[in-house]
Amino acid sequence: MPFPHTLGELRNSHFTEQRMLHRGVKDELRENLLARLKSPGPVFPGIVGYDDTVIPQLVNAILSRHNFILLGLRGQAKSRILRALTSLLDEHSPYIAGCEIRDNPYAPLCRRCKDLLARDADRTPIAWMKREDRYVEKLATPDVTIADLIGDIDPIKAARGGHELGSELVIHYGLLPRANRGIFAVNELPDLAGKIQVGLFNIMQEGDVQIKGFPVRLPLDVALVFSANPEDYTARGKIVTPLKDRIGSEIRTHYPATVEEAMSITSQEAWCERPGPALTLPPYIRETAEHIAFIARADKRVDKRSGVSQRLPISVLENVISNAERRAVLEGSALAVPRISDIYAAMPSITGKLELEYEGEMKGADTVAREVILAAVAQTFDRYFGANDLKQVVQWFELGGQVTLTDNTRTHEGLKSLEKIQGLLEKTEKVGVGEGEPPEAIVSAAEFILEGLHAHKRIGRTEDRVFTSGDKPKRTERDDTREQFEADWEQRKKNRRPFN
């Protein structure tokens, strides 16, 4: 269907004056949301893990025509949700061609469009904007000014057009007026200086803005949405109370509740489909990557106020795949299968995402990350194996066996070493790797089993990834001497007479 190009043509379309004057952007969001609720499928495709918590609250806020704020720690899809709101806007909307604030053709706000409409009437040219064009986003930073947000006088416009500085034609419109008839989103709202937050009071309550130096009020048609991190209230700034009072709904986001939900998010976001060697990504690698985030969130050495972003397992998985790719290319193999050792090689994607408490800082980020990975391996291992499943493998190590497996160990070398371990390769079937699988998959599964045994302290492993017996090292004469000295010292302290 051809779009009308003049106001006269627009009047004869279904974009009638009555419809466009009585249907603001919040009504539009509400109407389209009600239609989506009646149809099958998710309300917001691509948003995982919020179906019973965040999404119902978000739906209520939109149906109530509220301005709202998403409050949650980093990496909880706040920005993604805000950008998904555009799917509730009409696919195309008309506005007066050339207008900076995308004026409604039937009720223009700016002086330029009013003069144009008075002069050309039904010949006034009409342009069309897509739903993506109606979303304006601003990341709040301390250097944002009222001019950036609301507007100011533009002396260049005055000079070029020969206008007086008091004329409305010299107004420079800020981001908020330019979001007219759309959605205006402010990310990290507490970072916005308090005096700048005051500039939002009028639009939040009275529905208009006042631009510096001009005795005019622009009754904008805009839906305002915000995001914030609770940490920011004390760390960097805060939302001023009158502004917080004007926000209709405060919606709390959260991290995935289950590993399955987290895996769905990571599968959706991580770059796994890539050119190069064919990739086989074992499920235990995916699970271990997710458990890293869950364990880190519960670890006392990690700052709870900062949180552990869902970006962590996404970055880890991407790095793990890249390390497996590198190994495959160096081997000349056409298949890349990640191993547990690749997760340790992906530590740079973990350490930078953990904000540590004092105890964690004393241990060091690398040490904390290694311990978290090992705990994650243990949890994943428990899903596949019981306590007594691998006695034969443990006995092989207790009899003096040892094997070296690093992320650089070539597949054929690793398989040759692993074949010596009695009962090991038969157990790989429990993680979905049978006899007919490629050697790369067998080595990966066998290494996972060994790492799991080490995580449960049933076998040992050195920092150089040499798997050995889990027995304690033999005592030396020096150990006996030290213990005897400590025992004698304790006895002397007991026999010491008190000083009078």
Report the share of the chain in percent with pLDDT over 70: 92
171: helix, strand or coil: strand
Question: Which pLDDT score, from 0 to 100, does residue 235 have?
Answer: 46
DSSP annotation of 130 reads E
What's the CA gap between 148 and 173, in Å, rounded? 8
Least confident of 94-98, 126-130, 203-207: 203-207
Question: Which pLDDT score, from 0 to 100, does residue 224 have?
Answer: 95
What's the CA gap between 476 and 186, in Å, rounded? 66
What's the CA gap between 425 and 318, in Å, rounded? 28
Closest CA to 265 of 50, 84, 43: 50
> CB-based contacts of 142: which residues, under 8 Å, 6+ apart?
191, 192, 193, 237
| Distance between first and last Cα of the chain | 106
Least confident of 60-64, 71-75, 285-289, 494-498: 494-498
What radius of gyration, in Å, describes the C-alpha atoms of the chain? 32
Residues 354 and 302 sit within 8 Å (Cβ to Cβ) = yes
Q: pLDDT tens digit string along 69-110?
A: 999 998 999 999 999 999 999 999 999 999 999 999 999 998
